[in-house]
Structure 1
């Protein structure tokens, strides 16, 4: 079933709620109070929609976590924060009138919902914005068009004197006729003006001088909030397809937070993004059917140019996307047949709906990060390939997921799986942008810079893959020590994807490598603002705070990370804080837990060895731990021999195993490579101190300080202290405020 209603379309299926002075528009993704927009985080907005859809019913806490976050192992604290945000936004804090809490059970919406007619009556007919666009569609027409459709609205009889007037006599008939003629002439003039205004704003084509568009996040209206990935994926596919159309300017992908900040105002969004139109849609998926309501709005007037509704089988979603894209482009510019074909190909990566669904789930996991996300992504991509064995983008997704596992977990076996997946993807479609990005990642991870540059350059020619190509090239420049070039490329990528938290995270890493710690912290603060539920970003922010000596802020960020998900990175970083504070037993416990979660990563094993060495009760276990760390590091370095930090760590592990010659060899190799200079210098200072060369250790400590390593890391180091390189008094002064509090059980 399908409808094409143009500017006069109805809003059947629109989802809006009013209670008190609050209006919530699920399609526009807005909340307004007393006519003023109120911003909340996307997850909080989703919580509100669930409560409104079950108004009067108790929604258990676990069901809310399932519906909004997709799983229950997230701490209930994130839900508590979302409810607190909603109470502030709805002014429902003193004595709740809208959201009732049933302690330890769940929440209930207790407000009185008003009928939709009351909502429409409160919206000014000339108001701009997405919410207004929906209302405009329900009215007969835009204000100017209304006059054109009803020329008798200014009629002679309405304005002629009545028979009871002083001019009702026969002696005034001539004057009365002239009066009627004047009003008739005025009506003709008004009609002409109305027609002119309608032509200016008619819903057929935007002025040719402004062929530009922004694709807003699609709203998931499904009962199951797990389908967020589906709506998000469709919006991303639409954006990427339109980005490849010559002559059409497409704004960078927009985050839901950006739409909320602008209150869903089309005019404001157009001014912010520099576009003449915006495309938004709602998606409702129920079983094997999907309903999509799409709308194109003019940013100059705020009017809806056209709306279309599609109610189809899930297997027809590709054709639906193509039709929406073609309709949007036709409203803006004429396109060549070849461009239209290319756009259709982009929107039809497979003809198998199950394969496409699994692919979108895989992308969601790959971009989400978190414990086990790479393995989950591979599982979904593999399911997509089982449904469609020629799905090149899914095969490239496996390659990128395995490369990510290799980078993040130092898992050497993941690299071999990545190589196999990339080889398969290249055979499927060597020209595809995603395939070339995956190949670039693979070559870059293996240190094959020439091949990586060639792959990223091929990917750069594809508008869809250009931001990822920039980020791949940025990583290569960063590893070669050209941090300024890396940051410049990151900025180019961010300009194309300003809502992508990963780009800010990588920019923060490059700033850290450049010794610009405060810039790194600022970049990661932006990353957690865009993606507040990402445990890894909070953990890295914590490490950066600790790196500049602000252990109190580091502890707060770690508590946030562990509350979201107690991953190995956060646990090992918390272990390091305990080590610095001299609580070696707690450090041993935390690092042990990290090795259980990341058994193939040498770093948690090395940190565990350090803590065991410092704690008398476990010192006898340190050798076996360092042996495991060395074995894992050697496997990682065999695949990535240019990682200076890993080489320095291996030198330290070997020194603890009594293999002094090999330790010195790793040490010298590490200092010939670019990398995390402060970490390399600290590892090597420890190694020289253990080998008895205190003068060489002092030189490395000077280098570590010059590279920005905080004094707390140096004076709390047990090996350096035992070698007489750090006085106990200095250590006491440096670490007395290291750990302000101990987080709860994670």
Structure 2
């Protein structure tokens, strides 16, 4: 079989059936189609099962002479892992760093496979979640009913009535038990995907405020058959077509008591317009369930009708905001929101969403220079709140900026205004946890993060936010559990892998951190922040060659720029401490000085000390703020505070006290970053500094030790008792982690 150039034949990967002729995979009795190129890659790996297949070989055999980007193979592998349910474990298709991929499971070839089940779906352009047989039957029935008899059913007076009295699947309070599943897109247009996702979420949110219902959590990955085992009524829908004035939708209600669809309801373009979407969805549902309620209010933020094209762009922006990868979400969401506002300038919700993403300008990768982003955010906030003073995203954006500025009262006011509109808004709840972290109140932060999870347990980001709080306060087991929850909800959600790597790094589990972060890079190879962070972890391992590979990858993502030149030369300039003058010049112009995964402020400060330069402008600007009596040293400005202490005359007791208070509030995070040791070193206490570093190295890991121990002051204090022991301890841990990495790869 090895002489074939095109995929053909049938084989098993473990207990997974693969039909290469039909580009399909049978996992646990459910068939799913994959792209032809994805099947070709899987077929090549299967032919060489157990062996590492180089990336170049895969490109040659699958794409031939076509010129394709490196990311094409990465995304194809990601699709295959999703189809094989291998996105989390990476145990079927294994990445061999800098080489290629290996299919680790046993492969059994055979000439013929049993005939595929009737429920095998038609080929699609990408892997899909398999539909159950019941879902297919229901979807088919919906279309037939809509075309043939829905007009009679909808407008006629003789509509069949079904008993909606409580059953064992209803709640004990005699409330109808209801669930909403993800709507499907039958329009044939990409915009229909965004609309289907938004409508199902809006319907769930609209029902969540009804005390006369027992509403199950929104789990879009579950189909009608799965949900019917948990509740009595399951509501689903299908976007049939997009029109110039709106969209046509068909809703259906499945009753598990009688095991059938008891009602289908067309919602046409005139009803399904922005500003009236939730009422259009809720009214027929309430009628069927026999619930009398007042007319629901219109969408928060936008009175009157919004142009349908503008709304479609708004939905697209929300999709990328919530589902995009770390490198792409900002640009795609911004583009869509701006397009919506170009069509409909008074679209308050689009203004608010734009304000929010600008306020998050450097939450992960560096999406925009700070001054520009904050200016844009504040303009969008004011414009959105002028149109609607209760616009939630704008209020949340105001809270983000106020928290950054330590204007905590203003941040509180903005978040409380959100709760007046939506008492359990999960976004505002986790922003409150960020506010409490900024106030050095970790226990309060944890309480809000847990409330956010209770409000929206199936949000990947809400679970990641909870993990971040656990990680900051040193509760690592709880952090890992929250991250596993996030990844299980969405195996392609890059942030879950990145934050897992950060906590593993903080604990000193460097080999595991590398593996997890390389998984993130497979999902999102365009993230400069993740690529740079992976290089930094390799430096912690003492593997400068591997670090250089990822720094060069980072440089390539920045194009011809100061940032590209800096990262390409990072090992030489920073790790090997060459050419301090050039290093300082590049650092002071660097856009990527700080991201959501790393902070190079200590590098800049140490370089300034090495050259005996005065404090950089960004330190002196922050110094005036930090020295104010009402300002805290917190997780956002502690690096500037340490720099200020190191570069100014020693003995500023007020600043020292603020640093000590911060270390006491977040002791484990401070220790892993050597905060206390650096303060002690700056105030002439080298023996105490060495003891603090030794404690950190023994308990977990001294993050970026190669930077901490090469501080200019250590040249004077390297003879301090215990310093050589500290170096040996770090070296031993390095060697252990290197061996683990070598064993796994």
- Same fold, TM exceeding 0.5? yes
- 1:324 corresponds, among 270, 281, 305, to 281
Task: Tell whether 2:637 aligns with 1:672.
Answer: no
1:611–1:588 distance in 2 versus 1, CA, 3 Å: farther
1:557: how far off?
Answer: 0.4
1:548: how far off?
Answer: 1.4
What secondary structure, in the 3-state scheme, does the structure 2 residue paired with 1:405 have? coil
Task: Tell whether 2:735 aligns with 1:736.
Answer: yes
Q: Which residue of 2 aligns with 1:502?
A: 461
What secondary structure, in the 3-state scheme, does the structure 2 residue paired with 1:306 have? strand
1:611–1:738 distance in 2 versus 1, CA, 3 Å: farther
Quote the Cα distance in structure 2 between the aligned partners of 1:439 and 1:399.
8
Q: Is the 8 A contact 1:580 1:716 kept in 2?
A: no
What secondary structure, in the 3-state scheme, does the structure 2 residue paired with 1:213 have? strand
TM-score, structure 1 length as denominator? Answer: 0.67
Uncovered stretches (5+) of structure 1, i.e. residues with no partner: 1-21, 23-30, 52-59, 63-70, 100-109, 117-126, 141-196, 271-275
- 1:405 corresponds, among 345, 361, 369, to 361
Aligned counterparts, 1:603-622, within 5 A: 612-615=573-576, 617=578, 621-622=582-583
**Bigger radius of gyration among the two:** 1
Q: Is the 8 A contact 2:279 2:297 kept in 1?
A: no
Deviations, residues 434-457 of structure 1 (Å, cap 9, x unaligned)? 443333333233322222222222
- How many residues are treated as equivalent by the alignment? 601
Q: Which residue of 1 aligns with 2:538?
A: 578
More contact order relative to length (CA 8 Å, sep ≥ 6): 1
Deviations, residues 537-576 of structure 1 (Å, cap 9, x unaligned)? 2122112112212222111101101112232332232222
Q: Is the 8 A contact 1:129 1:266 kept in 2?
A: no
More helix by share: 1
Q: Which residue of 2 aligns with 1:433?
A: 392
Q: Is the 8 A contact 1:437 1:455 kept in 2?
A: yes
Q: Is the 8 A contact 2:352 2:391 kept in 1?
A: no
Uncovered stretches (5+) of structure 2, i.e. residues with no partner: 1-15, 17-23, 40-60, 64-70, 93-104, 122-131, 146-159, 590-600, 605-615
Task: Tell whether 2:537 aligns with 1:537.
Answer: no
What secondary structure, in the 3-state scheme, does the structure 2 residue paired with 1:419 have? helix
Task: Tell whether 2:653 aligns with 1:697.
Answer: no
Q: Which residue of 1 aligns with 2:518?
A: 559
Aligned counterparts, 1:191-590, within 5 A: 200=163, 209-224=174-189, 227-245=192-210, 247-256=212-221, 259=222, 264-270=225-231, 276-285=232-241, 288=244, 290-310=247-267, 312=269, 316=273, 322-336=279-293, 339-343=294-298, 350-368=305-323, 369-408=325-364, 411-413=369-371, 414-463=373-422, 466-566=425-525, 567-584=527-544, 587=547, 590=550
Q: Which residue of 2 aligns with 1:710?
A: 701
1:505: how far off?
Answer: 0.3
- Using the TM superposition, name which of 627-636 and 436-445 deviates more: 627-636
1:509–1:519 distance in 2 versus 1, CA, 3 Å: same
Quote the Cα distance in structure 2 between the aligned partners of 1:138 and 1:645.
55
Q: Which residue of 1 aligns with 2:11?
A: none
Q: Is the 8 A contact 1:648 1:667 kept in 2?
A: no
Backbone CA RMSD of aligned residues:
5.1
Quote the Cα distance in structure 2 between the aligned partners of 1:503 and 1:379.
25
1:133: how far off?
Answer: 5.2
1:387: how far off?
Answer: 1.5
Q: Is the 8 A contact 2:552 2:568 kept in 1?
A: no
Quote the Cα distance in structure 2 between the aligned partners of 1:664 and 1:372.
45
1:224–1:351 distance in 2 versus 1, CA, 3 Å: closer
TM-score, structure 2 length as denominator? Answer: 0.67
Quote the Cα distance in structure 2 between the aligned partners of 1:349 and 1:98.
61
Q: Which residue of 2 aligns with 1:650?
A: 640
Q: Is the 8 A contact 1:350 1:391 kept in 2?
A: no
1:61–1:468 distance in 2 versus 1, CA, 3 Å: farther
Deviations, residues 459-485 of structure 1 (Å, cap 9, x unaligned)? 123348622222222222233343333
